[in-house]
Structure 1
């Protein structure tokens, strides 16, 4: 808890916020966006991801917003997790004249077409080792049959579907778009299905800075961002996109290599002990399971 307060010292009021500060609110992607837009001309206070906030911290966020010059936010429904963290609720705490930019939360299946990240309220515990579900492991646990990999046409179709969904959400009133940034497909676009890479964050950051009136410039952090977890880059995916990258069959978690088989075995044991959860996962992943089954 002490380390957390130190990390978010400006948010908690343990260090002074810079003059003219703004706030970037959202899921795990929000801090990466803050990193690339924050500069002396466009200072932004580091805050926890929205799903990590408790009631006291939600109140602290509203107090911080009362003095903010801008808010960058992903769309968040009112009373998110029972707290006043909806985008409209946050916006209401801003001073008159503060700028607001709404940005998309991004998921892209093109580099990891086997993967899903699920939020199941009845089953809040994440799978072991990595918090992602692999359609092949889920199928194995459920006694279903899917192939080990997809043809290139199916990889591209899943990528197109995720971009189409992103485009649909952008059309609901967002201020910047990201859906056109997934062409051409390169390795650095995504670490996992819901963790974009620098190749997405830097151009998206440029658009946010422009939407804020271009008071600053995009900042390249000089390192991979949102990279604590990297899913395997499988050879058939490399071939589907003709990537200039070597296949990597292992996970990388907090800098350590974790074999895909170790994840598979841990997840099979996890599902075996939780049949109700497995049923819920199969239900949520039904469209992806159908796509994979059709390729068998």
Structure 2
């Protein structure tokens, strides 16, 4: 997978832009300050805005917890939910922003001026910017991928398993054999190299080193980091902005609603300690891999283009893993 494809893939599973979304009153209330429905508690404090996908909101929570009355944050829609009607609200927020913390978003994202460089032009002259990368880390679950197709995401979980894709293509039962050790290590090295290249290209904080040394505390799924990673990233963001503050654990898991199985063989191949599992954890419920596969196989039968696209996009990975 190319660097650009990785970057787009991180946001891909979050994209569900419904018609008339900006008129959804429940959504507007949830982001009340962004839409001007509520006033900030202390408008005189400098505003820190975190811009990006689901990782952005988790980061905002941590940076808000470290503020201690020195700045304020604002809950805003993730970039994949923003629509044209939201642009005036976004510009108004940016005009009041002192610190922008942003993930790299390409110019013209979804045919709107939502790119990180584009929104940066709306900032006051003295505003500070810190960029942090979109984490995509497949080391603990090397067969998990993201595939963008017009039909959207598969059922149960918005992720694809190459073993299920190959089984669907060949019309054979799915084999959940663990990936061989060399394949696991190859995916680990690729995840690390891809992330380092994206960091260097966009001038972000160094999340790759955090992930490299996090052991099993890296990601729950390919694009949802553990608290451990988010905490260290957030501390690095404060340092990049020149702000003093201590980021602390919020006492809850921020991005752990979906948790991919992590095989003991995978942990062994990477030489790390961790809790092994062979079932998904979906919003607190244990769901067997076969159950997820059965639902997705039915979906693939209705959307064969997803099989073709997925295997074409990840052909090199299929060969590397030998699935």
TM range (shorter): over 0.9
For normalisation by structure 2, the TM-score amounts to: 0.85
TM-aligned CA distance change 1:42 to 1:160, over 3 Å: farther
Quote how far apart the aligned CAs of 1:237 are: 1.7
Which residue in the other structure is 1:160 paired with? 189
In the TM superposition, what whole-angstrom CA distance separates every residue of 1:262-287 from its partner, at most 9, and x where no partner exists? 11111111111212221111111212
Which residue in the other structure is 2:166 paired with? 139
1:198 to 227, 231, 239: 227
- Name the SS for the 1:127 alignment partner: coil
1:225 aligns with 2:254: yes
Q: How far apart, in 2, do the equivalents of 1:131 and 1:59 lie? A: 31
Q: How does 1:30-179 map to 2 (within 5 A)?
A: 30-38=56-64, 39=67, 40-120=69-149, 123-143=150-170, 148-179=177-208
Quote how far apart the aligned CAs of 1:20 are: 1.1
Query: Contact 1:21–1:45 at 8 Å: present in 2 too?
Result: yes
Q: How far apart, in 2, do the equivalents of 1:175 and 1:277 lie? A: 33
Q: How far apart, in 1, do the equivalents of 2:177 and 2:214 lie? A: 22
Q: Which runs of 5+ in 2 are unaligned?
A: 1-23
Query: Contact 2:180–2:321 at 8 Å: present in 1 too?
Result: no
Moved more, 17-26 or 188-197: 17-26
Which residue in the other structure is 1:250 paired with? 279
TM-aligned CA distance change 1:20 to 1:61, over 3 Å: same
- Name the SS for the 1:191 alignment partner: strand
In the TM superposition, what whole-angstrom CA distance separates every residue of 1:17-60 from its partner, at most 9, and x where no partner exists? 34311211111111111111122323211111100111112331
Which residue in the other structure is 2:35 paired with? 12
Q: Which runs of 5+ in 1 are unaligned?
A: none
1:23 aligns with 2:41: no
Query: Contact 1:42–1:215 at 8 Å: present in 2 too?
Result: no
Q: How far apart, in 1, do the equivalents of 2:132 and 2:219 lie? A: 17
TM-aligned CA distance change 1:221 to 1:100, over 3 Å: same
Q: How does 1:177-196 map to 2 (within 5 A)?
A: 177-196=206-225
Moved more, 137-146 or 155-164: 137-146
Query: Contact 1:190–1:196 at 8 Å: present in 2 too?
Result: yes
In the TM superposition, what whole-angstrom CA distance separates every residue of 1:47-85 from its partner, at most 9, and x where no partner exists? 111001111123311211011111111111111101110
Q: How far apart, in 2, do the equivalents of 1:190 and 1:113 lie? A: 12
For normalisation by structure 1, the TM-score amounts to: 0.93
Query: Contact 1:147–1:292 at 8 Å: present in 2 too?
Result: no
Which residue in the other structure is 2:295 paired with? 266
TM-aligned CA distance change 1:273 to 1:32, over 3 Å: same
Q: How far apart, in 1, do the equivalents of 2:282 and 2:257 lie? A: 6
Query: Contact 2:151–2:303 at 8 Å: present in 1 too?
Result: no
In the TM superposition, what whole-angstrom CA distance separates every residue of 1:146-196 from its partner, at most 9, and x where no partner exists? 872222232122111111011111111413111111233423211001111
Q: How far apart, in 2, do the equivalents of 1:281 and 1:182 lie? A: 26
TM-aligned CA distance change 1:124 to 1:58, over 3 Å: farther
In the TM superposition, what whole-angstrom CA distance separates every residue of 1:106-137 from its partner, at most 9, and x where no partner exists? 111111111012233xx142100000000100
- Name the SS for the 1:225 alignment partner: coil
- Name the SS for the 1:257 alignment partner: strand
